[in-house]
Amino acid sequence: MNIIDFIIGALLVNAMPHLIFGLTKTHFLGLFGYSPKGNITYAVLQFLLCCVLFCFNYGYNELLNNGYLIGGITVLCLYFIFGKFLVKFYGKQQSKN
Give this prediction's pTM: 0.78
pLDDT number for residue 89 = 80
Q: How confident is the model at residue 77 (pLDDT cuts 50, 70, 90)?
A: confident
As to burial, measured by CB atoms within 10 angstroms (0-12 exposed, 13-18 middle, 19+ buried), residue 64 is exposed
